[in-house]
Amino acid sequence: MSVTEHELTLPLSHEAAQKLNLGDFVYLTGEIFATAGLPTHDRLLKCLEGAEPLPFDMSGSALFHLGSLNEEAEDGSLSIVYMNPTTSTRFNRHMPRLIPGLGLRATGGKGGLDAACARAMAENGCVYLSFLGGGAPIITAGIRKVTGIGWPEMISHYRIARIEVERLGPLTVGIDARGNSIYDRTSKESLEKRASILDAMRAERDSFEA
Amino acid sequence: MPITDDMIIEATGELYSRSLRKVPEDAKAALAAAMQTETSETARQTLKFQLKSAEMAENKDSFVCSDSGVPVYFVKVGSKAELDCDFKASIRRGYETLVETIDPPLLKHVTNPITLERGYHGKDMPIVTYDFESGVDYVEMVCSPKALGSGRWAALELFTFPTLEEIETYILDVAIKAGAQHCPPVLMGVGIGGTFDHCAGLAKKQTLRPIGEKNPDPVLAAMEARLTKAINGLGFGPMGTGGDTTVLGVHVDFSSGHGFTPVAVCFNCWINRRARVRIWGDGRMEWSE
């Protein structure tokens, strides 16, 4: 048995997003945005309310929950030394508004998003891609060029990095563009299995002889 | 010859740096073993990429994870070790030196919980637990930095005269609540008994025990095997995208206490950051992990 792999170019089309299924592996080439900041997500929501302009045109883009050590050299050139996913569920309260507000076609990080986010993804044709936590060497190798750093006054991993990536991955489809979620599914299944697992543990305890 | 400030300063920085770059051999062996038993192809591939990430970090001498966490150390001073140092000051100095010199630089993760300001330094950093070891003439230091990713799912509850069933049910429920979140497959540390403060330390110290090392207490060994099988049956899998490998192991220890029984559970993500050194008075430093 093999896993289905997709080589995708960004920005992701509606059709390409719809073709992705849970558990598929994806490699991305094109432009992404990356930030790991909770204050950044608060600020993005305020941008949507008109408080200030967005640092970049992010419509139809891919915004990922990735923390990075980014640097601007004296000659103005930008670089990322290392990059890695952060826990996406920290942004559960932001994503249902950011997905439609920015028209996101892809989001991701690690650990998934909740059911309200999955609904927003289904309504907007957006996918959630799981990055390898502790995968800094692999993920950083997918960076071709850093093309912008938004909100540089924030600490490094809170800034919004605009990055050109080449075969960034492997990323796992965790929530598809129809709103099906591995996270919801495994969470529900674990609760369904709980009683039988507890029974099996009881039987093992009862038969234990030291 | 006594153990000096310079030795502690060097060990403090070097331990942290090593823990960020090298996945311990026992963790890598456990990941490789899990690849043989996994029935989900997505999970098997994810385990393969975890091992590849560990290998790339070692070869490139770079960090496995961008989140270096906060500095956490465990120190054991041998009863026959000769010290000529201000231990606490040297650990602080060692950490400060590391922050100034480490390549690549760390991100600012040390957080003031009142203001949410983040930097490299803060009150009570590094977090250090001191202990003694009878009959040995060395100092042992372990660095096990901790970040939000797996750190936030730790839990502690107080029971009164609980049955083993109540304890194990609680541990399973903590694993269900953490679900896909803590960069599985994780190592779970469990502490049972003692007091509130002591119990959390018991759980944490169990995450420093090598994976695959059998618990010498047969009752605890059976409990560890039972909980490992049970939690892997939940189906969260590597990185929480489904599979049979949610834990690499469950390590349990207990202490006697009163009728109120705390049960503490904590998690190490798959990279199991842990570096260890023994320091002798003659200047020898024996590194392991």
pLDDT of residue A45: 98
Question: Of A105, A96, A98, A78, nearest to A159 (Cα)?
Answer: A78
Q: Does A25 touch chain B if contact means CB atoms closer than 8 Å? A: yes
List the single residue in A with minimal CA-CA distance to B222.
Answer: A208
Are residues B205 and B262 located together in one domain of the fold? yes
Is there a contact between B141 and B74 (Cβ–Cβ < 8 Å)?
yes
**Is the torsion defined by CA of B74, B146, B109, B116 positive or negative?**
negative
- Do the bridges between strand B72-78 and strand A160-175 make them parallel or antiparallel, or are there none, so unpaired? unpaired
- Please give, rounded to a whole number of angstroms, the shortest distance from the CA of B181 to a CA of chain A: 4
pLDDT digits (tens, 9 = 90+) for B175-202: 999 999 999 999 999 999 999 999 999 9
Cross-chain Cβ contact B67/A83 below 8 Å:
no
In a domain, B176, yes or no: yes
- B269/A172 Cα distance (integer angstroms): 18
* Structural contact between residues B64 and B21, judged by C-beta atoms closer than 8 angstroms: yes
The per-residue pLDDT of chain B, averaged, comes to: 97
Cβ pair B247, B113 in contact under 8 A: no
Number of Cβ atoms within 10 Å of the Cβ of A118: 25
pLDDT at B133: 96
With respect to residue B162, please indicate whether it lies within any of the assigned structural domains. Answer: yes
Which one of A35, A68, A172 would you mutate to disrupt binding with B, by most B Cβ within 10 Å of its Cβ?
A172
Q: What is the pLDDT of residues B253-281, one digit of tens each?
A: 999 999 999 999 999 999 999 999 999 98
Please state the rounded mean pLDDT for residues A1-13.
92
Residue window 9-28, chain B: list those with CB within 8 Å of chain A: none
* Per-position b or e across A139-158, b if 16+ CB within 10 A of its CB: bbebbeebeebbbeebbbbb
Dihedral over alpha carbons A26, A27, A31, A32 (to 10 degrees): 50
Between residues 29 and 88 of chain B, which touch chain A (CB distance below 8 Å)?
40-42, 45-46, 49-50, 52-54, 56-57, 60, 62-67
- Cβ contact, residue pair A69, B49, below 8 Å: no
Question: Cβ(B67)–Cβ(A86) under 8 Å?
Answer: yes
Q: How confident is the model at residue A1 (pLDDT cuts 50, 70, 90)?
A: low
Residues B94 and B178 in one domain: no
Amino acid at A60: G
Does B283 have pLDDT greater than 90? no
Residues B133, B160 within the same domain: no
Phi, psi of B185 (to 5 degrees): -75, 135
Contacts of B268 (CB under 8 A, 6+ apart): B144, B150, B186, B187, B189, B207, B274
Best of A40, A199, A201, A208 to disrupt the B interface by mutation (most B CBs within 10 Å)?
A: A201
Domain of A26, CATH number, reads 3.20.130.10
What does the alpha-carbon distance between residue B255 and residue B262 come to, in Å, rounded to a whole number? Answer: 10
Residue of B nearest to A133 (CA): B183
Residue A210 has a pLDDT of 64
What ipTM was reported for this prediction? 0.95
DSSP string, B186-250: EEEEEEEES-HHHHHHHHHHHTTSPTTPPPSSHHHHHHHHHHHHHHHTT---GGGSS-S-SEEEE
Are B205 and A163 spatial neighbours (Cβ–Cβ below 8 Å)? no
Asked whether the beta carbons of A116 and A92 are under 8 A apart, the reply is yes
Structural domain tally of chain A?
1
Q: Does A68 touch chain B (CB under 8 A)?
A: yes
Q: Comparing C-alpha atoms, which of B40, B66, B50, B22 is closest to residue B270? A: B50
- Chain B residues in contact with A191 (beta carbon < 8 A): 176
Are residue B261 and residue B141 in the same domain, yes or no? no
Sequence letter at residue A45? L
B148, closest residue in chain A (CA to CA): A87
DSSP string across A8-63: EESSPPHHHHHT--TT-EEEEEEEEEEE--HHHHHHHHHHHTTSS--SS--TT-EE
Structural domain total, chain B = 2
Residues B264 and B283 in one domain: no
The per-residue pLDDT for range B118-132, each reduced to its tens digit, is 999 999 999 999 999
Residue A194 covered by a domain: no
**Looking at the whole model, is its pTM more than 0.90?**
yes
Tens digit of each residue's pLDDT (9 = 90 or more) over A119-130: 999 999 999 999
The torsion angle over the Cα atoms of residues B92, B93, B98 and B99, rounded to 10 degrees, is 70
Closest CA to B268 of B13, B30, B8, B17: B30
For residue A202, being part of any structural domain is answered with no
Do B104 and B160 belong together in one domain? no
Domain boundaries, position A38: 5-182
Closest CA in chain B for residue A131: B239
Report CB contact under 8 Å: A138, B236.
Answer: no
Q: Look at residue B159 and give its three-state secondary structure.
A: strand
Are residues B141 and B190 part of one domain? no
Which of A19-28, A38-47, B279-288 is least confident? B279-288
Question: Residue A149: helix, strand or coil by DSSP?
Answer: strand
Neighboring chain B residues of A197 at a CB cutoff of 8 Å = 172, 230, 233-234
Three-state secondary structure call for residue A192: helix
- Per-residue pLDDT reduced to its tens digit, B218-237: 999 999 999 999 999 999 99
Say if the Cβ atoms of A135 and B148 lie within 8 Å: no
- Regarding whether B134 and B152 lie in a shared domain, the answer is no
* pLDDT number for residue A99: 98
Residue B88 sits in which domain range? 3-22+64-145+273-288
Q: Give domain status of residue A195, yes or no.
A: no
Give the tens place of pLDDT for each residue, B36-56: 999 999 999 999 999 999 999
Mean pLDDT of chain A: 96
Is residue B217 domain-shared with residue B87, that is, in the same domain? Answer: no
Residues B110 and B187 in one domain: no
Closest to B172 (Cβ–Cβ): which among A132, A155, A198?
A198
Q: How far is B253 from chain A (nearest CA, A)?
A: 17
Please state the rounded mean pLDDT for residues A56-77.
95
Q: How many whole angstroms separate alpha carbon B67 and alpha carbon B149?
A: 9
